[in-house]
C-alpha cells in the first residue's frame, strides 16, 4: 500500500471497506448489504452475466416512473430511499469528499471526476443529479441506457457524457458504440477490432455524434482484472500493455485510460494494491508511447478514497448519490 493510501485510510478510519464511503465519519451512510452493489464482480457495479438482465434474455419487466427496464424484474419494496429532493445535497457531499481526498493525496481538488452509476435509477433521479452538477453517466446494460436516455431527453436533462461500464459482448458492439461516448470495459483485441470497424463505417457514412458534430475516434478504456479474480471481467495485468499497443494501432479508437473494479475483499491493503497496480500499468502504457492513456477509472462508493490516493482520475458512484438500488426478483 502506498504512503498516500495509508494516510487516506487513516484519515477516514477505514479499516473495513464495508463502512459507508470507506470512512467512519462519512456524512453518507450506505447499508452494509450495499457491498453487493459496490464490489461483486460480474454481478456488481460493472457486472454483465447477471441472469436477470435483458441481455441474458429475460422478458419480465416492471414500470419504474414511466420507464420499463425490459427484462429487469425489480422492486423497491421495503427499501428506504432518499427523497429526490435530497439528491442534490448527496451529490454535493460526495463532491466535497472526493475533492478532500484529492487534496490529501497532494492533487488539485478538481483532479477527480465523478461518474454517476445509473443502473436501475429512475430518470427523474438522474436528472436531479445532473442538475446538481453531474456530467457523466455510467450504464451497465445497453438497453437500459437507451431507455434511460430517451426518458432524459423528454425531461430536458442537462447535457452529459455517457460511459458504458458493463461488459460488452461482441454482438452488442454496434449498439454500445452508437449509444455512448466511451466504453470503459474493453477486454479483448477482438472487441476492439469490431468497434474500430463499426466506428470507421459510421465516419465514412457521415454519421454525427450525439451533439451533432462529425465523428472522430471513439474513446475506450481497457478493463483490468488486477486482482486476478475469476468472478470479474477484465484483462490479465500482464497482457494490458500488449493489448494497449494493439488498440493504439486502430485508427478509429482512442485509448484514454484503464478501468478497474477493486479487489473483492475486506483487506484494505489488498484493495489499495490492486489500484496501485493499475496505476503502474497506466504509466507503463504511456511510457510505451500511448500518450492518450491518461485516465484511471478506479473506485466506487466503498473504496473511492483509497482509489484517489492511488491516482484515480474518475470514481464511479451510485448509491452514495441515489440511495440503494432495487432488489432483483
Look up the CATH number of the domain holding residue 33. 3.20.20.10
Phi-psi region of 53 (alpha: psi -120 to 50; beta: other; left: phi over 0): beta
Domain count, the chain: 1
Rounded Cα distance, 53 and 111, in Å: 34
Which residues, including other chains, have CB under 8 Å from residue 133's CB and lie 6 or more apart? 91, 92, 95
Q: What is the pTM of this model?
A: 0.79
Q: Any idea which residue has 490479465 for its cell?
A: 236
Tens-digit pLDDT string for the chain (329 aa): 565 555 554 443 333 333 333 333 333 333 333 322 322 333 233 333 332 333 333 322 334 444 444 445 455 555 667 788 899 999 999 999 999 999 999 999 999 999 999 998 999 999 999 999 999 999 999 999 999 999 999 999 999 999 999 999 999 999 999 999 999 999 999 999 999 999 999 999 999 998 889 999 999 999 999 766 676 789 999 999 999 999 999 999 999 999 998 777 888 998 999 999 999 999 999 999 999 999 999 999 889 999 999 999 999 999 999 988 766 65
User: What's the grid cell of residue 230?
Assistant: 475469476
Cβ atoms 13, 24 nearer than 8 A: yes
Rounded Cα distance, 204 and 24, in Å: 54
CA of 131: how far to CAs of 87, 113, 156, in Å? Answer: 10, 16, 10
User: Can you give the pLDDT at residue 19?
Assistant: 31
pLDDT digits (tens, 9 = 90+) for 24-72: 333 333 333 332 232 233 323 333 333 233 333 332 233 444 444 444 5
Q: Identify the CA nearest to 327 among candidates 29, 27, 36.
A: 36
The whole domain housing 43 covers: 3-328
Amino acid at each position: 500500500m502506498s504512503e498516500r493510501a495509508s494516510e487516506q485510510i487513516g484519515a477516514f478510519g477505514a479499516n473495513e471497506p464495508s463502512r459507508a464511503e470507506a470512512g467512519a465519519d462519512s456524512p453518507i451512510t450506505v447499508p452494509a448489504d450495499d457491498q453487493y452493489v459496490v464490489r461483486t464482480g460480474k454481478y456488481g457495479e460493472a457486472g454483465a452475466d447477471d441472469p436477470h438482465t435483458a441481455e441474458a434474455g429475460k422478458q419480465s419487466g416492471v414500470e419504474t416512473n414511466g420507464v420499463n427496464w425490459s427484462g429487469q424484474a425489480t422492486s423497491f419494496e421495503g427499501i428506504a430511499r432518499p427523497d429526490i429532493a435530497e439528491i442534490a445535497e448527496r451529490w454535493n457531499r460526495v463532491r466535497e469528499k472526493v475533492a478532500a481526498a484529492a487534496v490529501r493525496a497532494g492533487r488539485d481538488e478538481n483532479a477527480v471526476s465523478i461518474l454517476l452509476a445509473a443502473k436501475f435509477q429512475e430518470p427523474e433521479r438522474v436528472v436531479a443529479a445532473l442538475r446538481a452538477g453531474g456530467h457523466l453517466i455510467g450504464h451497465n446494460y445497453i438497453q437500459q441506457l437507451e431507455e434511460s436516455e430517451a426518458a432524459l431527453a423528454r425531461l430536458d436533462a442537462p447535457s452529459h457524457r455517457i460511459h458504458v461500464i458493463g461488459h460488452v459482448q461482441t454482438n452488442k458492439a454496434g449498439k454500445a458504440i452508437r449509444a455512448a461516448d466511451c466504453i470503459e470495459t474493453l477486454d479483448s483485441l477482438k472487441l476492439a477490432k469490431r468497434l474500430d470497424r463499426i466506428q470507421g463505417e459510421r465516419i465514412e457514412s457521415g454519421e454525427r455524434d450525439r451533439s451533432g458534430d462529425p465523428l472522430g475516434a471513439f474513446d475506450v478504456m481497457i478493463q483490468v482484472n488486477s486482482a486476478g479474480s475469476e468472478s470479474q471481467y477484465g484483462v490479465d495485468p500482464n497482457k494490458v500493455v500488449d493489448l494497449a499497443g494493439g488498440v493504439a494501432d486502430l485508427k478509429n479508437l482512442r485509448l484514454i485510460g484503464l478501468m478497474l473494479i477493486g479487489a473483492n475483499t475486506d483487506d484494505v491493503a489488498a484493495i489499495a494494491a490492486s489500484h496501485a497496480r493499475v496505476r503502474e500499468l497506466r504509466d507503463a502504457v504511456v511510457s510505451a508511447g500511448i500518450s492518450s492513456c491518461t485516465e484511471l477509472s478506479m473506485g466506487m462508493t466503498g473504496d473511492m478514497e483509497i482509489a484517489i490516493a492511488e491516482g484515480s482520475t474518475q470514481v464511479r458512484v451510485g448509491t452514495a448519490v441515489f440511495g440503494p438500488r432495487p432488489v432483483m426478483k
